Amino acid sequence: MCAQSRIARTARIAVVGSVNMDVVSQVTAFPLPGETVHATATVFHGGGKGANQAVAAAAAGAGVEFIGAVGDDAFAAPLADGLAARGVGIAALARKPTTSGQAFITVDATGQNTIILSAGANGQITAREVEAAQAQIAQADALLTQNEIPWEATFAALTLAHRAGVRVIANPAPAFEPPSEAYPFIDALILNEIEAARLTHHAVVTIEDAEQAARDLLERGAREVIVTLGALGSLSLSAEGRRIETPIFPVNVVDTTAAGDTFIGMYAVAATEMDAAQALRFATAASALAVARPGAQESIPTRAEVEAFLRQAETR
């Protein structure tokens, strides 16, 4: 039996984070300051880093509970229904008297993107609301957090999970340097090269740069640091000294939106059953499939698709 088929279908993941309506426009090239360009198409997709990671974890076979908020606008019901339809529990999804979160995304001809966030209801999530979902967090195998909701709410989630002995996987995106007291609560810090540079105040371009950044973040108290580097793959370092480089799977890039979220959600589930190297390979394959498709949650592959992709890769 191949390693990737051993992902536990019963893994339990709690996600505290954002859910947005993504307004995605395709362009030939990004506009310069002051320039107007025509979009070749505009579509609406469910998104938000928290929601994307929750959908990825559910697609990998986990039972997922999402803790977040939508507004009272026309986007609220489609966002909630979209999560539920993809197997994500929404009992702790609050409704706020404001707009739902929105992300205005532009994708160019190479598949690269720019994103402008409007927090809406995501910006009103409180620590008290997170604490009210203590049971969902305490019963999880892992908690996933990001930086698209107020830090006070995120830190409350980290604290609850740490006290309950739940593995904490933190994604400091958009880039934000957590207070020093947060790092000892983090079991796995997953970030890209831009975020790693922002947190360490040093450019991260090469694998060697990523290793130095990871060592810096481990010294702050995180127990594992995974730096993703686009075409260079990823580097994982643990506090025990384990070092893993994982190369990418070459694919035709269509849209990089949600690639990192797919990696994180899939890794969270894979790590409950596989060793670190196998889990990283599984997550890397999942993100490769995601970038070969348009959209955010729509681009996230199922576990069966990832397994099939890996079987094909092993025969090449």
> Residues with catalytic annotation?
261
| Residue 75: CB atoms within 10 Å | 22
CA 141/CA 139 separation, integer angstroms: 7
